Amino acid sequence: MATRRKKISSLPIGRFIGPPLTIVLFLVVGYLAMTGRLPFLNGASDQAATTEAGLLPGTEGGLQLTSSGDPAAKPIETLTVATFNIQVFGVKKAEDLEVMRYLALILRQFDVIAVQEIRSLERAPVDQLLELINSTGEQYKVILSERLGRTDSKEQYAYFWDSRRIQFVEGSSYLVNDSADFMHREPFVASFHALQAGVPGAKPFSFTMINVHTDPDETEQELNVLDDVFQSVRAYEFSEDDFILAGDLNVEIDKLGELGQIQSVESVNREQTNTAGSRSIDHLLIDRTATTEFRGAGVINYERDLKLPRELADRISDHRPVWAVFDSSEHAPQGVIAALPETVSR
């Protein structure tokens, strides 16, 4: 995390260069600050995001505007998981080809992406986006949930994944049972594993994802239900030890309620996740004692990294994607020590 420089408020400039030059100097400094040319006056969160973005394999120095379509371009030792609310995605957004191309570019940076807020009545916009993702030689696939919600404005969840690096576990997707209607949209669960471990002879990293989009008007109740969801999915998927709850939770990290009180479970991102750079409401939560494969996390600020005008960035989404990097080889949870079976003397 970048540190904010101390503000010096009592430097006696006028004593050395005189009042007229002081006025000119302040005007120049004010102009530079307003135009963003004094980086130490920018928000600390954006400086930190710049630092963290360099950790994302394949995006050093910003997102690349082209893709080779070569899976070897991504490091075999790690894989990258992301969550991204693509804001009211449907026919209208699919007709904006400029936005669609940028969405495809952003999504193909990751190996598995949990997507929220698909509003289309038809599947065609999702298939169009998938086609654009794969237009540079990639082989991504997608799975959709049912349309969910209590009102006419229903949404779907989706998972996109790079099938050359990631295997979706057939039959593993389901909606969490919410017969008491505690949540506006039931979480969507699916399991994946790396196709190849980065360490020779090791088991490829496997994990189960829980895709969530809370209702902004019901966050207190839903966050206090999501702890039970997380625990119930862990109990149901008893053979798995790595779980990632991903999505737009509509609350800051200190407002996660009972979900944030599960022992060792935490949101791995600390950066601003809305396009305006003012809130951090999108999360990837893991159990840090169980998922020891975790390597680092951050946010893609596509407005900055792709040098986009704000108007275009807002058309893409009002959210930024949150990512986390994991080793592609399975690790033992903390406290588990590998050992040979005991021998018994006869």
Nearest Cα residue to 188 out of 248, 135, 138, 132 = 248
Average pLDDT, the chain: 84
Contact 248, 282 (CB under 8 A): yes
Closest by Cα among 308, 242, 274 to 101:
308
pLDDT of residue 300: 95
In our burial notation (b when 16+ CB lie closer than 10 A, e otherwise), range 205-240 reads bbbbbbbbbbeeeebeebbebbbebbeebbeebeeb
What local confidence, expressed as pLDDT, does residue 259 receive? 97
pLDDT confidence of residue 68: 59
Axis-axis angle for helices 97-107, 124-133 (nearest 10): 60
Task: State the pLDDT at residue 47.
Answer: 38
Q: In this structure, what token pair is assigned to residue 124?
A: 């065609």
pLDDT at 237 (0 to 100)? 95
| Per-residue model confidence (pLDDT) at position 72 | 75
Q: Looking at residue 278, what is its pLDDT?
A: 97
Residue 52: name the closest of 66, 38, 62 by CA: 62
Ramachandran angles phi, psi of 230, nearest 5°: -60, -50
List of the chain residues with pLDDT < 50: 1-18, 21-22, 24-25, 28-29, 31-55, 58-62, 64-66, 338-346
Give the residue from 110, 203, 120 showing the smallest Cα distance to 160: 110
